[in-house]
């Protein structure tokens, strides 16, 4: 447990202070990665100060800085996409769990009457998101060490990959995305699942579902895993574990949202599946600017782990289920219109399954293949971490502003010449005075 705590504290320091340094020095002035995270940033303040989920007292300040793109002068009084208007109130257009989980970070500043400014909330949100991912890493270490029986070296190795070799570092630890909170709940649920603590496992799976409803895919396969581990149908305790999350959802939906259609994604559930198969599925894996295997090439070895598990399937049913989660999740989100994750760094839409991708490395590191491909494996780890460091330094949405043509014409997502990585190389050349501008539409010196 002490080692897990040290991992958590170390990860938090890396996550938070690496951002703070590039932010305060002006290397990367981006404080808020996406407008999608604004409701979660302000929700703890609304709950702690105003005893409500409504963001009414902060709506004008938020809209002033992040207006509706079709109403920047506020003449039409349009509500930005990240909020819903319910009667005369404004509430998050997305699920609320990330904001609620962040509340302990906000508690002391609220008690101390901290001034509510965009800057102060931005810093608190970074502290909270860094802690969420860091704590997730600590639990992940306990999971692989105690439940998957890895030795100390391999437990550290896989935990390091989980924390720093995936977009958990450059994206999820840097903003109150739903994905980070979902991962935290999933990793805790897995720990209890392997400990045969059925109620507690289902409790966190239930919270994972109301954090991000697409977790239903994960829950289905983990229910099969529970049956496999139990040797029979899951107990009533497992089913009862979902009740608190369901009751909580029904209560807050009734009390604040008035109607389920006001919940995040409700309006998009039927109309949002517009990607051309198999482009989205392949893009999630291979896009030069969004692909899993491009931004975290070490996860190529996860596919090797799945292959080894299939070869000896009787002894590795759990890894086959993990592989099924990964495949189904990327297949389903490959059909989503924004399979590339919008304004975000790397494979955001697939980030929910990062715990399973890293767990699928377990059969690999336990096999003879590990010794055979050791140098390639370590090289892929180094490259994956460097990609994430580049995300911390460079991700400021400029690449998206320059090339993002949306989901209708996705050629920009397949260009190597204008990929995010190559674009950032050109930006460095501009700073060195070796190039006038990074792209034709960029300003000189930018």
- Cβ atoms of 85 and 79 closer than 8 Å: yes
Residue 64's φ and ψ, nearest 5 degrees, are -60, -35
- CA gap 92, 99 in Å, rounded: 10
pLDDT at 47 over 90: yes
Query: Any idea how long the chain is?
Result: 446
Q: What angle do CA 369, 362, 164 make, to 5 degrees?
A: 105
Residue 265: pLDDT band (50, 70, 90) is low
Residue 187: pLDDT band (50, 70, 90) is very high
- CA gap 191, 194 in Å, rounded: 6
- Cβ atoms of 80 and 63 closer than 8 Å: yes
Q: What angle do CA 72, 34, 158 make, to 5 degrees?
A: 175
Residue ranges of the alpha helices (H) in 236-278?
A: 236-240, 243-252
Residue 236: pLDDT band (50, 70, 90) is confident
Using H for helix, E for strand and C for coil, what is the string for 396-441? CCHHHHHHCCCCCCCHHHCCCCCCHHHHHHHHHHHHCCCCCCCCCC
Residue 69: pLDDT band (50, 70, 90) is confident
- Cβ atoms of 44 and 100 closer than 8 Å: yes
3-class SS of residue 351:
helix
Which percentage of the chain shows pLDDT scores above 90? 84
* Mean local confidence (pLDDT), 410-429: 94
Residue 86's φ and ψ, nearest 5 degrees, are -115, 105
Kindly give the interhelix angle for 300-311 and 317-333, rounded to the nearest 10 degrees. Answer: 130
- Cβ atoms of 297 and 380 closer than 8 Å: yes
Give, in order, the Cα–Cα distances in Å from 16 to each of 51, 171, 371.
Answer: 28, 12, 35
Residue ranges of the alpha helices (H) in 312-413?
A: 317-333, 354-359, 362-365, 368-372, 374-394, 398-403
- CA gap 156, 361 in Å, rounded: 13
- CA gap 211, 437 in Å, rounded: 41
Residue 74 is predicted with a pLDDT of 87
Quick: pLDDT tens for 119-128.
Answer: 999 999 999 9
β-partners of residue 330 are: none
* Mean local confidence (pLDDT), 57-75: 92
pLDDT at 443 over 80: no
Largest CA distance in the chain: 67
β-partners of residue 85 are: 90
pLDDT at 264 over 70: no
Quick: pLDDT tens for 100-135.
Answer: 999 999 999 999 999 999 999 999 999 999 999 999
Q: What is the DSSP string of 14-67?
A: HHHHHHHHHHHTTSS----S-GGGHHHHHHHHHHHHHSSS--HHHHHHHHHHS-
Average pLDDT value over all residues in the chain: 94
269: tokens are 């559930």
Quick: pLDDT tens for 366-409.
Answer: 999 999 999 999 999 999 999 999 999 999 999 999 999 888 88
Instruction: Indicate the domain borders of the chain.
Output: 32-122
Q: Say how far residue 248 (Cα) sits from the centre of its chain.
A: 23
Residue 259: pLDDT band (50, 70, 90) is confident
């Amino acid at each position: 447990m002490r080692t897990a705590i040290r991992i958590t504290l170390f990860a938090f320091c890396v996550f938070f202070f690496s951002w703070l340094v590039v932010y305060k020095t002006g290397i990367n002035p981006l404080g808020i990665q996406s407008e999608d995270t604004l409701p979660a940033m302000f929700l703890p303040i609304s709950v702690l100060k105003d005893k409500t989920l409504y963001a009414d007292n902060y709506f004008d300040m938020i809209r002033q800085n992040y207006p509706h793109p079709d109403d920047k002068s506020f003449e039409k009084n349009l509500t930005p996409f990240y909020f819903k208007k319910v009667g005369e109130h404004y509430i998050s257009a997305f699920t609320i769990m990330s904001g609620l989980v962040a509340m302990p970070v906000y508690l002391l500043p609220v008690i101390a009457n901290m001034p509510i400014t965009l800057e102060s909330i931005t810093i608190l949100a970074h502290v909270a998101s860094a802690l969420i991912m860091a704590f997730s890493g600590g639990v992940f270490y306990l999971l692989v060490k105690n439940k998957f029986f890895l030795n100390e070296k391999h437990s550290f190795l896989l935990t390091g990959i989980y924390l720093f070799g995936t977009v958990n570092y450059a994206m999820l630890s840097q903003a109150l995305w739903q994905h980070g909170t979902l991962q935290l709940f999933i990793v805790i649920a897995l720990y209890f699942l392997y400990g045969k603590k059925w109620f507690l496992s289902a409790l966190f799976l239930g919270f994972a579902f109301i954090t991000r409803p697409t977790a239903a895919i994960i829950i289905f396969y983990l229910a099969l895993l529970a049956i496999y581990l139990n040797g029979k149908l899951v107990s009533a305790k497992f089913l009862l574990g979902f009740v608190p999350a369901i009751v909580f959802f029904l209560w807050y939906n009734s009390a604040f949202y008035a109607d389920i259609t006001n919940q995040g994604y409700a309006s998009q559930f039927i109309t949002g599946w517009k990607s051309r198969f198999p482009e989205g599925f392949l893009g999630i894996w291979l896009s030069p600017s969004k692909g899993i295997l491009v931004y975290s090439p070490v996860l190529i070895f996860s596919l090797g782990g799945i292959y080894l598990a299939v070869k000896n399937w009787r002894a590795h049913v759990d890894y086959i289920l993990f592989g099924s989660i990964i495949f189904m999740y990327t297949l389903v989100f490959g059909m989503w219109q924004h399979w590339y994750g919008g304004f975000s760094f790397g494979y955001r839409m697939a980030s929910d399954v990062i715990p399973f991708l890293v767990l699928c490395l377990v059969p690999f590191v336990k096999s003879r293949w590990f010794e055979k491909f050791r140098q390639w494996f370590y090289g892929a780890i180094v490259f994956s971490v460097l990609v994430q460091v580049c995300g911390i330094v460079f991700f400021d949405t400029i690449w998206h502003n320059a090339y993002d043509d949306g989901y209708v014409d996705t050629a920009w997502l397949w260009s190597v010449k204008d990929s995010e990585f190559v674009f950032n190389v050109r930006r460095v050349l501009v700073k060195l005075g070796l190039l006038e501008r990074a792209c034709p539409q960029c300003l000189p010196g930018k």
